[in-house]
């Protein structure tokens, strides 16, 4: 058996920032400005921070899909490591046997192994065996024996799976097939310049043309577009046409099958305010590192942003529409169960997914049959979105002034 002694790093909540946090924390690496492990909040900030992205999709044979982004998704994992100045040893192979040997090699060196695995293949995932979907994500492997792998992956408890299952998940996509890395300590001399760079990246994604997509898809302009689409009945991308009352409205908010909805975007990763609370914590840390107390004031503004996102969640799950109120409860519970219990909650999570599916099936005969009620709900959502837009505009302005 090769298992890291006293491994107890399970506080990471996102695949990318959480895995890096867990790996560095176990290795005893401390941030110079806090004297503690590099927090996931700090790593989120270093990745480019929060974001707002708004996208609509409609694939043949499936309900229309809404995708809302709350954090920067432009190569965040590698961006974090480059900004930290943390060197990495990359081991990759095309064979399962060598891939397992590489994991063991890293563990024998006393380091945590970050490996890429398909989230739809891992046995502790409720969407396991969805052959039509895949998502290669970094996870921490901290132990291996003849038949079992010990994993830290977004949950506060250890996860154990069979070696065969891990190999299947690691082999799912050729580009990341049997890829594993180990990390060294960050270069503290880079941190000040890197934090500056990361904050400006966050400001630009909200205020300037995005690296990809259009202004309607990212940042403050995306809020304006979303608001218009909620009540504009003529545009083909409007909610009344793209997410009609009888079919799409429920799916846009509560998701369908493996596709997340708006509530998932707000609740994901253990921060119920679309990660605005996490970004506020990053800015408080940045204020220490950059010796810039104005960043503390900006952090307060982002805490206000978190409150407006929580208000949106309450509007989405209004008691006036009982199916969505119940969906809000179920999605909240599903996230909490995985974080607190991991694989032990799998059957409960499957039961939640089944109930959500039944709510969606029954929606057209229930609330979905009342177009006036759904039109009123869209207007309430629009008001909540406009509030987020106003508060985040103020927060970005405060952040810009703090950095100028």
pLDDT tens sequence across 89-139:
999 999 999 999 999 999 999 999 999 999 999 999 998 767 778 999 999
- Average confidence (pLDDT) over 244-271: 91
* Longest distance between any two alpha carbons in the chain, whole Å: 64
Question: What's the pLDDT score for residue 279?
Answer: 98
- Average confidence (pLDDT) over 269-293: 96
Sole residue written with tokens 């590489």: 102
pLDDT in tens, 349-388: 999 999 999 999 999 999 999 999 999 999 999 999 999 9
Question: What's the pLDDT score for residue 361?
Answer: 96
Task: Quickly count: other Cβ atoms within 10 Å of residue 145's Cβ.
Answer: 12
User: What is the distance between the alpha carbons of residues 14 and 204, in angstroms, rounded to a whole number?
Assistant: 23
User: What is the distance between the alpha carbons of residues 38 and 20, in angstroms, rounded to a whole number?
Assistant: 9
- Average confidence (pLDDT) over 142-156: 97
SS3 content of the chain, % helix, strand, coil (to 5): 55, 15, 30
User: What is the distance between the alpha carbons of residues 158 and 150, in angstroms, rounded to a whole number?
Assistant: 7
Structure tokens at 304: 């206000």
CB 258 within 8 A of CB 17: no
85 pLDDT tier (thresholds 50, 70, 90): very high
pLDDT at 210 over 90: no
pLDDT at 269 over 90: no
pLDDT in tens, 174-209: 999 999 999 999 999 999 999 999 999 999 999 998
- Average confidence (pLDDT) over 154-172: 97
Question: What's the pLDDT score for residue 167?
Answer: 97
Lowest mean pLDDT across 111-120, 254-263, 319-328, 341-350: 254-263
230 pLDDT tier (thresholds 50, 70, 90): very high
213 pLDDT tier (thresholds 50, 70, 90): confident
Question: What's the pLDDT score for residue 203?
Answer: 98
CB 134 within 8 A of CB 164: no
pLDDT at 33 over 80: yes
Q: Rounded to the nearest 10 degrees, how much is the dihedral formed by the CA atoms of 378, 382, 384, 390?
A: 180
User: What is the distance between the alpha carbons of residues 385 and 175, in angstroms, rounded to a whole number?
Assistant: 38
Query: How many helices and strands, by DSSP H and E, does the chain display?
Result: 15, 9
Structure tokens at 293: 């107390």
Length of the chain: 404
Average per-residue pLDDT for the chain:
96
pLDDT at 302 over 80: yes
339 pLDDT tier (thresholds 50, 70, 90): very high
CB 367 within 8 A of CB 374: yes
User: What is the distance between the alpha carbons of residues 331 and 348, in angstroms, rounded to a whole number?
Assistant: 12
Task: Quickly count: other Cβ atoms within 10 Å of residue 224's Cβ.
Answer: 16
User: What is the distance between the alpha carbons of residues 324 and 250, in angstroms, rounded to a whole number?
Assistant: 7
């Amino acid at each position: 058996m090769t298992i890291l002694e006293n491994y107890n790093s399970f506080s990471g909540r996102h695949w990318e920032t959480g895995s890096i946090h867990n790996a560095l924390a176990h290795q005893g690496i401390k941030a110079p400005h806090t004297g503690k492990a590099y927090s996931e909040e700090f790593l989120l900030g270093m990745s480019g921070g929060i974001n707002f992205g708004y996208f609509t999709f409609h694939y043949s044979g499936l309900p229309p899909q809404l995708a809302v982004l709350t954090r920067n998704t432009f190569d965040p994992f590698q961006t974090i490591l480059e900004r930290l100045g943390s060197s990495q040893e990359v081991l990759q192979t095309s064979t399962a046997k060598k891939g397992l040997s590489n994991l063991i090699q890293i563990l024998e060196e006393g380091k945590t192994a970050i490996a890429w695995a398909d989230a739809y293949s891992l046995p502790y995932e409720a969407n396991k065996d969805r052959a039509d979907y895949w998502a290669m994500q970094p996870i921490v492997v901290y132990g291996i024996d003849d038949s079992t792998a010990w994993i830290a992956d977004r949950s506060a408890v250890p996860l154990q799976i069979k070696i065969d299952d891990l190999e299947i998940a690691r082999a799912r996509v050729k580009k990341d097939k049997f890829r594993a890395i180990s990390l060294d300590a960050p270069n503290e001399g880079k941190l000040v310049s890197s934090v500056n760079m990361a904050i400006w990246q966050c400001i630009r994604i909200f205020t300037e043309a995005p690296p990809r997509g259009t202004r309607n898809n990212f940042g403050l302009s995306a809020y304006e577009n979303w608001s218009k689409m909620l009540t504009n009945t003529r545009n083909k991308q409007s909610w009344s046409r793209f997410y009609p009352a009888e079919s799409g409205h429920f799916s846009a908010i509560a998701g369908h099958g493996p596709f997340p909805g708006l509530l998932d975007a707000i609740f994901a990763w253990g921060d119920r305010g679309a990660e605005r609370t996490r970004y506020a914590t990053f800015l408080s840390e940045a204020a220490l590192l950059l010796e810039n107390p104005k960043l503390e004031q900006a952090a307060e503004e982002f805490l206000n942003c978190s409150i407006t996102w929580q208000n949106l969640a309450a509007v989405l799950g209004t008691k006036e529409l009982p199916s969505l109120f119940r969906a809000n409860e179920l999605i909240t519970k599903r996230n909490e169960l995985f974080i607190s219990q991991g694989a032990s909650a799998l059957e409960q999570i499957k039961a939640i997914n089944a109930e959500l599916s039944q709510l969606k099936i029954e929606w057209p005969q229930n609330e979905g049959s009342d177009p006036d009620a759904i039109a009123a709900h869209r207007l309430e959502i629009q008001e909540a979105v406009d509030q987020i837009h106003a508060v985040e505009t103020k927060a970005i302005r405060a952040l810009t002034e703090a950095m100028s």
